[in-house]
């Protein structure tokens, strides 16, 4: 049985011959709060980008810096042109056609 263990700041990666078991974070409250806040920060990127873009569009100039303005413009365009249409298309109900098998054809004759 092959068993490797690496320990770095509460992270334990273990590889076994029968499978891979990984634990990336510990079980403390501080780590849980950190992960939840990180997820929240990533989810807020699009809404904040859209608000910045809308206010910049309304004033006619970028509020902070041109680099941030270009980033928020690209983020907003991606959301409107790629993400929303793709999400809409993927959420539609699909009708699946069942392909008849050879046994189905033989039973009908």
Do 27 and 1 sit in the same domain of this protein? yes
Give the residue among 43, 55, 40 at the shortest CA–CA distance from 79.
43
Report mean pLDDT in 10-residue bins for the chain, 109 residues. Answer: 42 47 73 93 95 94 91 95 93 81 67
Q: How far apart are CA 23 and CA 13, in angstroms?
A: 6
Do 14 and 37 sit in the same domain of this protein? yes
DSSP assignment of 53-99 equals HHHHHHHTS-SS-HHHHHHHHHHHHHIIIIIHHHHHHHHS--PPPPP
Backbone angles phi, psi at 40, to 5 degrees: -60, -45
Per the domain annotation, does 99 fall within a domain? no
Do 34 and 56 sit in the same domain of this protein? no
Structural domain boundaries, residue 4:
1-43
In this prediction the pTM is 0.57
């Amino acid at each position: 049985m092959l068993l490797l263990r690496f320990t770095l700041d509460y992270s334990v990666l273990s590889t076994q011959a029968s499978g891979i078991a990984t634990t990336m974070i510990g079980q403390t409250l501080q780590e849980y709060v950190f992960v939840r806040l990180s997820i929240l920060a990533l989810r807020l990127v699009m809404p904040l980008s859209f608000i910045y873009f809308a206010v910049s569009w309304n004033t006619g100039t970028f509020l902070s810096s041109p680099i941030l303005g270009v980033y928020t413009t690209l983020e907003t365009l991606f959301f409107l042109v790629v993400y929303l249409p793709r999400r809409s298309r993927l959420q539609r109900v699909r009708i699946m056609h069942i392909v008849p098998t050879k046994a189905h054809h033989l039973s009908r004759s």
